Amino acid sequence: MPNLDSALKDAMAIDGAVGVALVDYNSGMALATMGSSPDLDLNIAAAGNTEVVRAKMRTMEMLNLHNEGIEDILITLGGQYHLIRPMTAKGSQGHFLYLALNRSRANLAMARLRLRQIEDNLTI
């Protein structure tokens, strides 16, 4: 079971990764961040993406999708992909992994797979 620091390093090793954060979506705070881009404030991204997660969860509740869980949320920008992966393991609920990728360097399918593997092995 990797610790948080090694999990973030693994996420940053994904092709095209520019930043990663573990976020508490109850508070909107980034609990841990790692990144290489001065243009990406991971604390602001954590707070803003918390609102995205909350809105989707409210919408799923209104649609009575009680037996469904969010696997991930993809936001596609002109030059970036932003992946949000709510954590589901016991003790990890209420948190999500956020990964920003350079779109021209990233393989989206591989990034989603690696982020899922990282989440599966991460215990908070």
- Domain region containing 52: 4-121
Q: What are the C-alpha distances in Å from 103 to residues 29, 106, 111, 119?
A: 25, 5, 11, 22
pLDDT in 10s for each residue of the chain, 124 residues:
458 999 999 999 999 999 999 999 999 999 999 997 888 999 999 999 999 999 999 999 999 998 888 999 999 999 999 999 999 877 788 899 999 999 999 999 999 999 999 999 888 7
Per-residue model confidence (pLDDT) at position 11: 97
pLDDT given for residue 37 in this prediction: 84
Sheet containing 17-24, strands listed edge to edge, beginning at the edge strand earlier in sequence: 29-35, 17-24, 95-102, 80-86, 73-76
Report the CATH number that the domain containing residue 54 is assigned in CATH. 3.30.450.30
- Work out how many domains the chain is built from and give that number: 1
Give me the pLDDT at residue 2, please.
58
Do 19 and 42 touch, CB atoms closer than 8 A? Answer: yes
- Token digits of residue 32: 């841990």
